């Protein structure tokens, strides 16, 4: 059983007040709060073991390097990536975030494998970070983007997806879970179909990694990305998982220290993955603290079940209000998008903030999706394992107050 | 609800938001401009009919929050009959008020209903809501 009270206690920020009320943090899809063990660890690391990595034989450098590489191992285990017999997992590349991971893929894999007329399949509900890098690549190469539509309940239109493939299709790049709707896509179905056509698949798992168990071997996806900060970890750390044989065929994207084998004045040879993609001094403390974050999460079982229950409770309570229209379907965890009759989202979230509730209004970096629904702006609340039903109740009360306030 | 928030969403603002004046495209406009707030997705288009350097008609279309919509509504009322130069001065004064540089009681009385937006100075993230339609107007007049 998941002990949510114990879990919540680990997050000191949840005790603060905002505008005179106790903070209710419902903007978890944007970023998550950090447990004390992780922030303590950051300080401790800088005070006791910090040094640059991979560069020197001295003890501090060795300690930092070990912690850094241990995190790579922990990340691999967390998403069940295949592990090597010994040495560093080559299939886990550290980046600065999901956005950076997608840019790496578009610039390295994309530069090498996409040519004029080739087609890349995305969905209409992508976050801008899994859209713009592909638009940039497509413009550079004269390639074409094709889009999977969604059904009324926010589910991907799998039938239409299958019709998008042609002999020009070179990649499927889709989010496993929409950051606006919270709908969980059927990754296995996507991969099975694409692979049958010989097309590799990239998953943006920035949200999915938070609310579901990711198993890259079971999914059999070729690439997958997520950000540490959305998973209780530090900012500035992201992951690109790729099948080792694919990563080792890809050219480096950024050049600099650490990514080379041999360098002469006019040439260099690239190190194998993951180092060829990690030029320069990385976010050492962030990565190492992310390792600590994963240790912390591994201590708790049943997080997804709790979040599912809490989301269902939230959806049901919202459904009690006639003025509320919910845009997320039934198959959603953590994230609920909705509109409220006669109150613009921007006005509503501002009202909620006065009550100490952090929610979000706007296009949520998914303008094409909002155009699809023919709206300019939506409210979004996103819950996580440290949130409670009491907070949901307070939120509903605040919503009722807002309805009264704006009906004056 | 606290006073500052209620002050911002005062009667004038709510009334203009609910029933905006001059909402819709002008048939015979001489210029138009657009204002977009990428943070929240608010987007307005402002139309003006300028005759001999004076704004004869002004109207707007688009969607946004109560503050941005009512600001567009009040603005289109206020600019009618004023010269383009006068309007630039009014905008400057309006900006001083919404940015909190000039207190509403010290501001030019001629700002009229525009002073209803003075309360936004308490909420810096929302100042652009009050100025969005003005940005569109300035684009039209440029
Ligand atoms: C589905 C999805 N993809 C990508 C991103 C981008 O993540 P980051 O800003 O950490 O690079 C986000 C963050 O909002 C997201 O929700």
* Ligand 1 within 6 A of CB of A95: no
For ligand 1, mutation pick of A208, A365, A380 (most atoms within 8 Å of CB): A365
Of the pLDDT bands very low, low, confident and very high (cuts 50, 70, 90), residue A330 is confident
* Ligand 1 within 6 A of CB of A204: yes
CA A365 to ligand 1 center in whole angstroms? 9
Is A377 in Cβ contact with B42 (below 8 Å)? yes
Q: Is A370 on the interface with B (CB under 8 A)?
A: yes
Reported as a single tens digit per residue, the pLDDT across A188-238 is 999 999 999 999 999 999 999 999 999 999 999 999 999 999 999 999 999
Q: Count the domains in chain B.
A: 1
Asked if the domains A4-28+301-406 and A43-298 are classified in one and the same CATH topology, the answer is no
Is A408 in Cβ contact with B41 (below 8 Å)? no
- Residue A182 backbone class (left: φ over 0; alpha: ψ -120 to 50; beta: rest): left
Question: Which pTM was predicted?
Answer: 0.93
DSSP B60: E
Q: What is the pLDDT of residue A329?
A: 76
Nearest atom in ligand 1 to the alpha carbon of residue A99 is 11
Is B67 in Cβ contact with A406 (below 8 Å)? no
The protein residue with its alpha carbon nearest to ligand 1, atom 16, reads A179
Secondary structure (3-state) at B44:
strand
Reported as a single tens digit per residue, the pLDDT across A338-347 is 999 989 999 9
* Cα–Cα distance, A225 to A99 (Å, whole number): 9
pLDDT of residue A402 exceeding 80, the answer is yes
* Ligand 1 within 6 A of CB of A96: no
Of the pLDDT bands very low, low, confident and very high (cuts 50, 70, 90), residue A328 is confident
* Ligand 1 within 6 A of CB of A175: yes
* Cα–Cα distance, A391 to A257 (Å, whole number): 48
In this complex, the residue of B14, B42, B123 whose CB is nearest that of residue A376 is B42
Structure tokens at A324: 């509320």
* Cα–Cα distance, A349 to A238 (Å, whole number): 29
Of the pLDDT bands very low, low, confident and very high (cuts 50, 70, 90), residue A315 is very high
In this complex, the residue of A19, A361, A405 whose CB is nearest that of residue B40 is A361
* Cα–Cα distance, A120 to A165 (Å, whole number): 9
- Find the residue in B nearest to A374 (Cα): B63
DSSP bridge partners of A148: A123
* Ligand 1 within 6 A of CB of A130: yes
Is A347 in Cβ contact with B9 (below 8 Å)? yes
DSSP B118: G
- Give Cα A283 to chain centroid, integer Å: 18
CA A126 to ligand 1 center in whole angstroms? 10
Of the pLDDT bands very low, low, confident and very high (cuts 50, 70, 90), residue A377 is confident
* Cα–Cα distance, B64 to A3 (Å, whole number): 42
- Find the residue in A nearest to B124 (Cα): A350
Q: Where are the alpha helices (DSSP H) in chain B?
A: 3-8, 11-18, 66-79, 84-98, 127-141
For ligand 1, mutation pick of A105, A122, A127, A233 (most atoms within 8 Å of CB): A127
Three-state secondary structure readout of chain A:
CCCHHHHHHCCHHHHCEECCEECEECECCCCCCCCHHHHHHHHHHHHHCCCCCCCCCCHHHHHHHHHHHHHHHHHHHHCCCCCCCCCCCCCEEEECCHHHHHHHHHHHHHHHHCCCCCEEEEECCCCHHHCHHHHHHHHHHCCEEEEECECCCCCECHHHHHHCCCCCEEEEEEECECCCCCEECCHHHHHHHHHHCCCCEEEECCCHHHHCCCCHHHHCCCEEEEEHHHHCCCCCCEEEEECHHHHCCCCCCCCCCCCEEEECCCCEEECCCCHHHCCCCCCHHHHHHHHHHHHHHHCCCCHHHHHHHHHHHHHHHHHCCCCEEECCCCCECCEEEEEECCECHHHHHHHHHHCCEECEEECCCCHHHHHHCCCCCEEEEECCCCCCHHHHHHHHHHHHHHHHHHCC
In terms of residue numbers, what domain contains B69? Answer: 3-141
Using an 8 Å Cβ cutoff, are B121 and B97 in contact?
yes
Q: What is the mean pLDDT of chain A?
A: 95
- Find the residue in B nearest to A371 (Cα): B41
Beta-carbon contacts of residue A353 (< 8 Å; ≥ 6 apart)? A18, A19, A359
Domain regions of chain A by residue span: 4-28+301-406, 43-298
**Average pLDDT of span A32-57:** 93
Of the pLDDT bands very low, low, confident and very high (cuts 50, 70, 90), residue A54 is confident
A43-298 is classed CATH 1.10.150.20: no
* Ligand 1 within 6 A of CB of A107: no
Reported as a single tens digit per residue, the pLDDT across A66-115 is 999 999 999 999 999 999 998 899 999 999 999 999 999 999 999 999 99
Q: What is the mean pLDDT of chain B?
A: 94
CB contacts, 8 Å: A401 with chain B: 1
Strands A144-148 and A119-123: parallel
Report residue B6: phi and psi, to 5°.
Answer: -65, -35
Using an 8 Å Cβ cutoff, are A310 and A383 in contact?
yes
pLDDT of residue A123 exceeding 90, the answer is yes
- Give Cα A313 to chain centroid, integer Å: 24
Task: Please state whether the peptide bond connecting residue A274 to the residue before it is cis, i.e. omega within 30 degrees of 0.
Answer: yes
Structure tokens at A378: 């939506």
Q: What is the pLDDT of residue B39?
A: 78
Structure tokens at A195: 């692979």
pLDDT of residue B121 exceeding 80, the answer is yes
Using an 8 Å Cβ cutoff, are A99 and A124 in contact?
no
pLDDT of residue B2 exceeding 90, the answer is no
For ligand 1, mutation pick of A230, A337, A367 (most atoms within 8 Å of CB): A230
Secondary structure (3-state) at B122:
helix
Q: What is the pLDDT of residue A376?
A: 82
A366 HSE (CA, 13 A, CB side): 27
Q: What is the pLDDT of residue A318?
A: 97
CA angle, corner A305, sides to A303 and A310, nearest 5?
Answer: 95
Q: Within 10 A of B96 (CB to CB), how many other CB atoms are there?
A: 17
Q: What is the pLDDT of residue A1?
A: 84
- Of the residues A347, A355, A373, the best mutation for testing chain B's interface (the one with the most B CB atoms within 10 Å of its CB) is A347
- Per-residue b/e over A20-29, b at no fewer than 16 CB within 10 Å? eeebbbbbbb
pLDDT of residue B130 exceeding 90, the answer is yes
Q: What is the pLDDT of residue B37?
A: 87
In this complex, the residue of B5, B11, B64 whose CB is nearest that of residue A354 is B5
Q: What is the pLDDT of residue A154?
A: 85
* Ligand 1 within 6 A of CB of A207: yes
CA A100 to ligand 1 center in whole angstroms? 10
Of the pLDDT bands very low, low, confident and very high (cuts 50, 70, 90), residue A156 is very high
CA torsion through residues B104, B106, B108, B112, sign: positive
DSSP B101: S
- Find the residue in A nearest to B44 (Cα): A376
pLDDT of residue A131 exceeding 80, the answer is yes
Task: Indicate the burial class of A187 (C-beta count within 10 angstroms; 0-12, 13-18, 19 or more).
Answer: buried
Tell me the ipTM for this assembly.
Answer: 0.90
Q: What is the pLDDT of residue A293?
A: 98
Q: If one looks up domain A4-28+301-406 in CATH, what number appears? A: 3.90.1150.10
Q: Is A347 on the interface with B (CB under 8 A)?
A: yes
pLDDT of residue B40 exceeding 80, the answer is no
User: Which CATH number covers residue B121?
Assistant: 3.90.1010.10
CA A99 to ligand 1 center in whole angstroms? 6
Return the closest-CA partner of residue A401 out of B6, B19, B41, B109: B6
**Average pLDDT of span A36-64:** 91
Q: Is B5 on the interface with A (CB under 8 A)?
A: yes
Q: Within 10 A of A228 (CB to CB), how many other CB atoms are there?
A: 30
CA B20 to ligand 1 center in whole angstroms? 37
Is A350 in Cβ contact with B41 (below 8 Å)? no
Count A/B contacts: CB-CB distance under 8 Å.
53
Structure tokens at A381: 């609340």
**Average pLDDT of span A40-59:** 90
CA A236 to ligand 1 center in whole angstroms? 12
DSSP bridge partners of A24: A357
* Straight-line distance from the first to the last Cα atom of chain A, in angstroms, rounded to the nearest whole number: 46
In this complex, the residue of B2, B11, B41 whose CB is nearest that of residue A376 is B41
pLDDT of residue A276 exceeding 90, the answer is yes
């Amino acid at each position: 059983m998941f002990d949510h009270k114990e879990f919540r206690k680990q997050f000191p920020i949840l005790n603060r007040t905002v505008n005179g009320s106790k903070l209710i943090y419902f903007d978890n899809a944007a970023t998550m709060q950090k447990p004390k063990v992780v922030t303590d660890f950051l300080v401790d690391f800088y005070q006791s073991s910090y040094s640059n990595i991979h560069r020197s034989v001295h003890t501090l450098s060795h300690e930092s390097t070990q912690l850094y590489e241990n995190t790579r191992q922990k990340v691999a285990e967390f998403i069940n990536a295949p592990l090597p017999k010994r040495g560093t997992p080559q299939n886990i590349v550290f980046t600065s975030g999901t956005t950076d991971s997608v840019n790496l893929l578009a610039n390295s894999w994309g530069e090498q494998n996409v040519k004029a007329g080739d087609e890349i399949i995305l969905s209409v509900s992508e976050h801008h970070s899994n859209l713009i890098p592909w638009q940039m690549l497509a413009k550079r190469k004269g390639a074409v983007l094709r889009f999977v539509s969604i059904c009324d309940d926010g589910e991907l239109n799998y039938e239409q997806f299958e019709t998008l493939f042609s002999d020009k299709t070179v990649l499927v790049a889709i989010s496993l879970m929409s950051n606006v709707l919270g709908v969980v896509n059927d990754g296995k179905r996507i991969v099975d179909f694409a692979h049958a056509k010989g097309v590799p698949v990239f998953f943006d798992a920035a949200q999915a990694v938070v609310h579901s168990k990711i198993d890259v071997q079971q999914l059999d996806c070729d690439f997958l990305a997520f950000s540490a900060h959305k998973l209780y970890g530090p900012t500035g750390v992201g992951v690109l998982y790729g099948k080792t044989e694919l990563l080792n065929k890809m050219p480096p994207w950024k050049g600099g220290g650490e990514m080379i084998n041999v360098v002469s004045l006019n040439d260099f040879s690239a190190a194998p993955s993951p180092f060829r993609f990690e030029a320069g001094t990385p976010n050492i403390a962030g990565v190492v603290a992310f390792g600590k974050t994963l240790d912390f999460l591994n201590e708790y079982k049943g997080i997804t079940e709790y979040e599912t229950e809490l989301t269902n409770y939230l959806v049901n309570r919202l459904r009690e209000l006639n003025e509320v229209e919910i845009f997320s379907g039934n198959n959603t965890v953590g994230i609920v998008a909705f509109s409220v009759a006669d109150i613009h989202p921007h006005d509503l979230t501002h009202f909620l903030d006065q009550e100490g509730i952090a929610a979000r209004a706007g296009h949520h970096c998914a303008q094409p999706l909002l155009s699809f629904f023919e709206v300019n702006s939506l409210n979004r609340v996103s819950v996580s394992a440290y949130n409670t039903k009491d907070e949901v109740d307070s939120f509903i009360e605040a919503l009722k107050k807002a309805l009264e306030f704006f009906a004056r | 609800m606290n006073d500052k928030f209620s002050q911002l969403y005062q009667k004038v603002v709510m009334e203009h938001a609910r029933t905006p004046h001059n909402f819709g495209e002008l048939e015979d406009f001489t210029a138009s401009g657009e204002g977009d707030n990428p943070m929240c997705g608010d987007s307005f288009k402002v139309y003006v009919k300028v005759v001999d350097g004076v704004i004869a008609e002004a109207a707007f279309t688009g969607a946004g929050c109560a503050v941005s919509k009512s600001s567009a509504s009040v603005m289109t009322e206020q600019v009618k009959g004023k010269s383009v130069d006068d309007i630039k001065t009014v905008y400057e004064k309006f900006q001083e008020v919404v940015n909190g540089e000039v207190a509403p009681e010290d501001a030019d009385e001629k700002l009229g209903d525009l002073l209803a937006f003075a309360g936004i100075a308490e909420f810096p993230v929302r100042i652009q809501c009050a100025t969005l339609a003005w940005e569109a107007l300035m684009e039209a007049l440029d």
